[in-house]
Amino acid sequence: MRINKITALKSLLAIAVTVGFTGCSKNGSGSGNVSTATGWKINDKKGGFQHNSNYKKQETAPGLVEVEGGTFTMGRVADDVMHDWNNTPTQQHVQSFYMDETEVTNVMYMEYLDWLKRVYPPSEENYRNIYVGALPDTLVWRAALGYNETMTNNYLRHPAYGNYPVVGVNWIQAVEFSKWRTDRVNESVLEREGYLKKDAKITDVSAESTFSTEAYLESPNKSYGGNEEIVYRGPRNKMAGDEEAKNVYAQRTSGLILPEYRLPTEAEWEYAAIALVGNREYNLYRGNKKYPWKGQYTRNGRRQSKGDQLANFKQGKGDYGGIAGWSDDNADITAPVKTYPPNDFGLYDMAGNVAEWVADVYRPIVDDEANDFNYYRGNVYMKNKIGEDGRAELVTAETIEYDTLSNGRIQYRNLPGQIAQEPITQEDVFLRQNYTRSDNRNYRDGDVQSSRYFNYGASEETGLDENQRMYDSPKHTVEVDSMGNLDRTWDSSDSRTTLVNDNVRVYKGGSWRDRAYWLDPAQRRYFPQDMATDYIGFRCAMSKVGPKSSRKTARN
């Protein structure tokens, strides 16, 4: 009798569990394959709504490490001995993101140049300025009273310098490298997942047959020049899970397409460099951190390497590395990446070696009253150019656009296979509250509305005349005449009061040419975006989608 009672109890328990699971399945909270909105089946092999319900987390892209976001004090918190109040402390919050573990190296940039040269041969007139425009300026190493021809001739291409940070790259070139890197990484991901033909990125690529992430998302069948033998229709599509699936391509809903590589914002770079995460006590930061490493000094305090320099920087007049041997920083110019210990985020050379471009347009102040979350000055909002067929228009060999920079250099603006872009219009921002124009680089600091000369109702173009500009910087002009010759006009006016304008960008971090003063992550300087030096390089960042952190935290 007792055995029968136990058996009956087990049967009731089994029924209850079954009913519970069945209930969960019906409302979609169990398997995740039934919609909680409609009750319809998700990812049905017969068709309908397809969604990656098995998505776990963002894949860490090549070269990147995760930086968990948080709040920090942006700007100098110690005395500013130069009394240059362009980095007044402000409280900012940065969203989680990824950043390159090291600065972009010569070998990484050489891979970019090699791809451009193979796909867009400079021997063809249509493409000549693509490769030439991407070349670093190796002449930055020259000095009127110095012998540096070894670096001029060898630094970029010689394998001895392969793992050294690339220099001679201006801000525009760094941005274009980041765009190229985005497409190559996503191209590789889609090939791995069966959406693209294996090895097509090498064997089938040409000027008329390339892959662009945004173009693929807009119209997959236009990738690789519309070659459907390369862009698979989905037989290996892990979303559909059916060998017979047709016309199913990877989209953002697949969770496979990675966000774009880009330059980090100034706030992101400074937050990542100071790495306060390794210097906290409960929810407060201890204030003994002046550099990316702990402490107030540039030498290592650990017993096994005590006295060694923690970064590559200029230690004094005529002293770029110290006395040969012990305590030398082991670098005359730049040093190979990973020569010095990383900071608490695992990032190398966030002080010294080379300074680094960031995305922001320079202004003397950080306007925390306007925004204190993911602060960034430099937004220029664009939209896809729509063709006569109502679809996004792709750039072709005949429609490539080039910019003539202020120094006369020719720089490509877009590449064949990419979606043509154009500025947003007033119709696009009608009744919007968060932004009202395409170009926001001088928002609240130099635009018409910010000026004491502002005439309400006047347009941006007619609101101010030449003598009423807030930032009275030189205006050099470079034009191409009807014969294709460059006409360069130097602004020789002696009445200019500043070098600040919408085309100067912030760079951070100190370099092998800088004294220790500039190693503080809060320090900020600026340089024209179309010029390069022998001490400014860059690294890429990528936004993080989804949860702030990959950590599993216990919650009551």
pLDDT digits (tens, 9 = 90+) for 25-68: 443 333 458 889 999 998 887 778 878 888 889 999 999 999 99
Higher pLDDT, 129 or 233: 129
Confidence of residue 455 (pLDDT cuts 50, 70, 90): low
- Tell me the domain boundaries of the chain: 1-44
> Is the per-residue pLDDT at 463 higher than 70?
no
| Residue 98, beta-bridge partner list | 66, 542
> Is the per-residue pLDDT at 94 higher than 70?
yes
Q: Calculate Rg over the CA atoms of the chain.
A: 28
Higher pLDDT, 87 or 449: 87
Mean of pLDDT values over 374-392: 93
Strands (E), 398-474: 402-404, 410-412, 421-423
CA–CA distance, 350 with 311 (Å, rounded to integer): 9
3-state secondary structure 304-325: HHCCCECCCCCCECCECCCCCC
Confidence of residue 194 (pLDDT cuts 50, 70, 90): confident
| Residue 295, beta-bridge partner list | 289
> Is the per-residue pLDDT at 486 higher than 80?
no
Q: What is the mean pLDDT of the chain?
A: 85
φ, ψ for residue 188, nearest 5 deg: -70, -40
**CA contacts within 13 A on the Cβ side of 213:** 19
The reported pLDDT for the residue numbered 296 is 78
Q: What is the pLDDT of residues 298-342, one digit of tens each?
A: 877 666 666 678 889 998 999 898 888 766 788 999 999 999 999
Among 46-55, 197-206, 367-376, the least confident range: 46-55
DSSP helix, strand, coil percent of the chain (3-state; round to 5) = 25, 15, 60
CA-CA-CA-CA dihedral for 400, 183, 212, 193, to nearest 10: 160
Confidence of residue 465 (pLDDT cuts 50, 70, 90): low
Task: Specify the amino acid at residue 491.
Answer: D
Among 272-286, 359-373, 444-458, the least confident range: 444-458
Closest by Cα among 45, 48, 139, 62 to 98: 62
The reported pLDDT for the residue numbered 23 is 42
Burial of 495 (0-12, 13-18, 19+ CB in 10 A): exposed
Higher pLDDT, 492 or 419: 419
The reported pLDDT for the residue numbered 95 is 96
Confidence of residue 441 (pLDDT cuts 50, 70, 90): very high
Closest by Cα among 227, 239, 228 to 193: 239
CA–CA distance, 307 with 300 (Å, rounded to integer): 5
Mean of pLDDT values over 393-408: 89
Mean of pLDDT values over 117-135: 93
Closest by Cα among 60, 187, 56, 180 to 544: 60
**CA contacts within 13 A on the Cβ side of 96:** 15
The reported pLDDT for the residue numbered 51 is 81
Closest by Cα among 260, 178, 166 to 217: 260
Burial of 401 (0-12, 13-18, 19+ CB in 10 A): exposed
> Is the per-residue pLDDT at 460 higher than 90?
no
Cβ-count burial 156-183 (b if 16+ within 10 Å, e if not): beeeebebbbbbbbbbbbbbbbbbbbbb
Higher pLDDT, 233 or 440: 440
Return the residue matching tokens 């860490």.
60
The reported pLDDT for the residue numbered 484 is 67
> Is the per-residue pLDDT at 196 higher than 70?
yes
Q: What percent of the chain has pLDDT over 90?
A: 53
Q: What is the pLDDT of residues 246-283, one digit of tens each?
A: 557 888 988 999 999 999 999 999 999 999 886 666 66
The helix/strand count (H/E) of the chain reads as: 8, 17
CA–CA distance, 296 with 46 (Å, rounded to integer): 65
CA–CA distance, 269 with 343 (Å, rounded to integer): 13
Cβ 251 vs Cβ 329: under 8 Å: no
The reported pLDDT for the residue numbered 262 is 98
CA distances in angstroms from 186 to 210, 257, 381, listed in the order given: 12, 6, 23
The reported pLDDT for the residue numbered 209 is 92
The reported pLDDT for the residue numbered 53 is 80
**Token pair for residue 116?**
């451009």
> Is the per-residue pLDDT at 241 higher than 60?
no
The reported pLDDT for the residue numbered 32 is 57
φ, ψ for residue 7, nearest 5 deg: -60, -45
Confidence of residue 454 (pLDDT cuts 50, 70, 90): low
Mean of pLDDT values over 530-554: 89
Residue 129 neighbours by CB under 8 Å, 6+ apart: 402, 410, 411, 412
The reported pLDDT for the residue numbered 304 is 62
pTM for the structure as a whole: 0.89
Confidence of residue 408 (pLDDT cuts 50, 70, 90): confident
| Residue 73, beta-bridge partner list | 91
> Is the per-residue pLDDT at 508 higher than 50?
yes
Cβ 400 vs Cβ 126: under 8 Å: yes
> Is the per-residue pLDDT at 398 higher than 60?
yes
Cβ 310 vs Cβ 291: under 8 Å: yes
CA–CA distance, 333 with 166 (Å, rounded to integer): 12
> Is the per-residue pLDDT at 423 higher than 80?
yes
Closest by Cα among 54, 7, 15, 57 to 33: 54
